Amino acid sequence: MRPNEFLSLVGRSGCGKSTLLRILAGLVPASAGSVEIAGEAVRGPRRDVGIMFQRPALMPWRSVVENVLLPVEILGLDRRAARREAAELLELVGLAGFERQRPWELSGGMQQRVALCRALIHQPDVLLMDEPFAALDALTREELSLELQRIWSERRTTIVFVTHGIAEAVVLSDRVAVMTPRPGRITRIVDVPVPRPRGFGGEAHEATVGAEDEVRALLFEREAA
Amino acid sequence: MNVVVEHVPARRTPLRRLGRGAAGWFAPLATFAALLVAWHVATRVFDWPIWLVPSPLDVADATWEYRSLLPRQLWVTLLESLAGFGLATVVGIPLAVLIAASRFLERTIYPVLLGLNAVPKIAIAPILILWMGFGYGPKILVSFLLCVFPIVIATATGLRSTPPELVELTRSLCASQAQVFRKARFPAALPHVFVGLKVAISLAVIGAVIGEFVGASEGLGWVIVNSGANVNTSLAFAAMVLLSLMSVALFYALVGLERLLVPWARHDDV
């Protein structure tokens, strides 16, 4: 992967997308081959990686801002600077003023925004996202995708984004890696050479529809074979 | 840019909460009142003698008559129950942590615990008194033995059922085992811990009373045994009513503590 690239992993359930992500995160060892981040082999969890799951995984005993600050505590970073950073991030996702709320007082979309802030608080070089919007309703999902695009354009990191949503993958990514099962492998990587910002409807959609069709064809062709 | 409009759940107004509270209290109070009336009417209709089945009024009379004795005995039983319960909490939770931490410890500790729990506590009580005398020791110990088991089981279950994402999240941040435990596993287990504590608190009172039954010179259990021997059935009933009230009050004290410490237990969808 290239630095600061946005790469999506698309594939049917059970093709190993999430497993690949967990290998990248150093949570599970690879059965063969190896992963390198910044020239170093991944042998376990790394400090410069942020992660986001399908469920927000917020801690209900912590307030919103305390949830965002969790990585800071665990990594032992400077708290005062982190508090400012947390306030900025929450502002960036439109959650300014919600710092003291508890997670259960927030909607699903807001909870996932908090999880995004938490994944970014320690300024990771790599952000791993495992179907982060899959549990949200279609509207919130689209809204959050565009928000992610905006945030990524402001704070460049390398992102690996696992999803089932072809449109979502194409709109967000520089490249879309198509995975197929048994054995789980990346069949093809589709480039999306469309200028940003991109969108979901109308003209914006026309720009990306070509890449979308290509990904779709790759996914379903394999399915038929 | 996006305009983010989102729904914040409406807070319950104090007035509505009060209304709901009143409705919540009315049904159980009415039930108790009806039962008391039925009890009273039955004693009159069937003309049971007072030493066999006293009426609620007789029990109230006895409570008033022994008003200098009963509070002191209640205090004794309360202290014994709380000591047993406290000991069970202090021992049970670390024990559960050990059990949840390693399969080996689980296999070593669990069978012993199961065996201990299988022994009827009423059968142990006389032996404990033989060993420890007639003081508070045996009462506290029986109380402890009765309520440690649910605390261990509930806590261990809670520690094992941490949402996997929370563990992965903390681990992905290079957290040590101790950090994963402190930041994720233990707080996530607290709602389960409270389930165990709520079961245990009633058992703690029962344990103390068992201890007092077998050999004591004070406590409400002792009052019941004694008044039985003197055919003062009204007093025995009065002591039982006080025991139940105490048990219920302890239970609700725990419910209050739970709402304070783990307010998220009722919102487990996060």
Q: Are residues A30 and A134 in the same domain?
A: yes
A43 and A26 inside one domain: yes
Whether the CB of B167 is below 8 Å from some CB of chain A: the reply is: no
CB contact under 8 A, B166 and A56: no
Give yes or no for a cis peptide into B126 (omega within 30° of 0): no
Residues A135 and A195 in one domain: yes
CA–CA dist A93, A147 (Å, integer): 7
Residue A183 three-state SS: coil
Q: Which stretch of DSSP H or E encloses residue B148?
A: helix B137-160
Question: Which residue in the set A27, A47, A111 is minimally distant from B270, CB to CB?
Answer: A111
Say if CB B232 and CB B62 are below 8 A apart.
Answer: yes
Q: Does the residue A53 lie in any domain?
A: no
The whole-chain average pLDDT of chain B stands at 86
Above 50 in pLDDT, residue A213?
Answer: yes
Taking CB atoms and an 8 Å limit, are A74 and B7 in contact across chains? no
The verdict on residue A166 lying in a domain is yes
Digit-coded pLDDT (tens) for B173-193: 888 888 889 889 999 999 999
At B173 the pLDDT is: 84
User: B264–A60: do the CB atoms touch at under 8 Å?
Assistant: yes
Number of domains in chain A: 2
Same domain? For A137 and A222 the reply is: yes
B179 φ, ψ (degrees, to nearest 5) = -65, -40
Quote the CA–CA distance of B212 and B142 in Å, as a whole number.
10
Q: Do the bridges between strand A126-130 and strand A158-163 make them parallel or antiparallel, or are there none, so unpaired? A: parallel
pLDDT value of residue B8: 52
Q: Are residues A73 and A112 in the same domain?
A: yes
Tell me the percentage of chain B whose pLDDT exceeds 90. Answer: 41
Residue B1 has a pLDDT of 46
> Of the candidates A207, A221, A167, A143, which has an alpha carbon nearest to the alpha carbon of residue A8?
A167
Sorting pLDDT into bands at 50, 70 and 90, what band is A106?
confident
Percent of chain A with pLDDT over 90: 1
Looking at the fold, whether A150 and A174 belong to one and the same domain comes out as: yes
Nearest Cα of chain A lies from the Cα of B166 at a distance, in angstroms, of 6
Rounded to whole angstroms, how far apart are CA atoms B97 and B158?
Answer: 10
Predicted confidence at residue B19, as pLDDT, reads: 58
Same domain, A140 and A203: yes
Q: Do A45 and B171 touch (CB under 8 A)?
A: yes
CB spacing of B1 vs A27 below 8 angstroms: no
pLDDT tens digits along A36-58? 776 777 777 878 888 898 888 88
A35 within domain boundaries: yes
Residue B10 touches chain A, beta carbons under 8 Å: no
Q: Given a cut of 70, is residue A193 above it in pLDDT? A: yes
CA A140 to chain B, closest CA, distance in angstroms equals 10
The conformation of residue A62, written as its DSSP 8-state character, comes to S
Please list every residue in chain A whose beta carbon sits closer than 8 Å to the beta carbon of residue B268.
Answer: 60
Q: What is the DSSP string of B30-69?
A: HHHHHHHHHHHHHHHHHT--TTTS--HHHHHHHHHHTTTT
CA dist A25 to A19, A21, A22, A48, B168, Å? 10, 6, 5, 10, 9
The answer to whether the predicted template modeling score (pTM) of the entire model surpasses 0.90 is: no
pLDDT of residue B76: 93
Answer whether residue A162 is part of any domain: yes
Which residue range forms the structural domain that includes residue A114?
A: 58-124
Residue B2, chain A, CB below 8 Å: the answer is: yes
Predicted local distance difference test score (pLDDT) of residue B237: 92
Q: Which of A103, A124, A145 is the last residue of a domain?
A: A124
Counted across chains A and B, CB pairs separated by less than 8 A come out at 83
| Of the residues A107, A124, A141, the one at which a domain ends | A124
Comparison of pLDDT for B97 and A219, the residue scoring more: B97
pLDDT band at A10 (very low <50, low <70, confident <90, very high): confident
Asked if the peptide bond before residue B191 counts as cis, ω within 30 degrees of 0, the response is: no
Domain B61-266: state its class: mainly alpha
Inspect the interface and report whether the beta carbons of B270 and A56 lie closer than 8 Å: yes
Which of A49, A51, A109 is the closest to B6 by Cβ? A109
Together in a domain, A116 and A133: no
DSSP string, A70-110: HHHHHHT--HHHHHHHHHHHHHHTT-TT-TTS-GGGS-HHH
- Of the three residues A74, A92, A124, the one that is the final residue of a domain is A124
pLDDT at A225 (0 to 100): 44
Provide the pLDDT confidence category of residue B10 given band limits of 50, 70 and 90: low
Question: Quick check: B168 contacting A, CB < 8 Å?
Answer: yes
A44/B174 Cβ within 8 A = yes
Residue A147 and residue A178 in one domain: yes
d(CA B82, CA A218): 68
Average pLDDT for B121-146: 87
Strands (E), chain A: 6-11, 36-37, 40-41, 49-52, 126-130, 158-163, 175-180, 185-191
Q: What is the mean pLDDT of residues B29-52?
A: 90
CB atoms within 10 A of CB B202: 20
**Which residue on chain B is closest to A112 by alpha carbon?**
B270
Task: Tell whether A190 and A80 lie within a shared domain.
Answer: no
Residue A90 has pLDDT above 50, yes or no: yes
pLDDT in tens, A113-170: 999 899 888 888 888 898 888 888 888 888 888 888 888 888 788 888 898 888 888 8
pLDDT digits (tens, 9 = 90+) for B58-108: 889 888 988 888 899 999 999 999 999 999 999 999 999 999 888 888 888
CB contact under 8 A, A104 and B183: no
pLDDT at B17: 59
B62 interfaces chain A, CB cutoff of 8 Å? no
Same domain, A168 and A214: yes
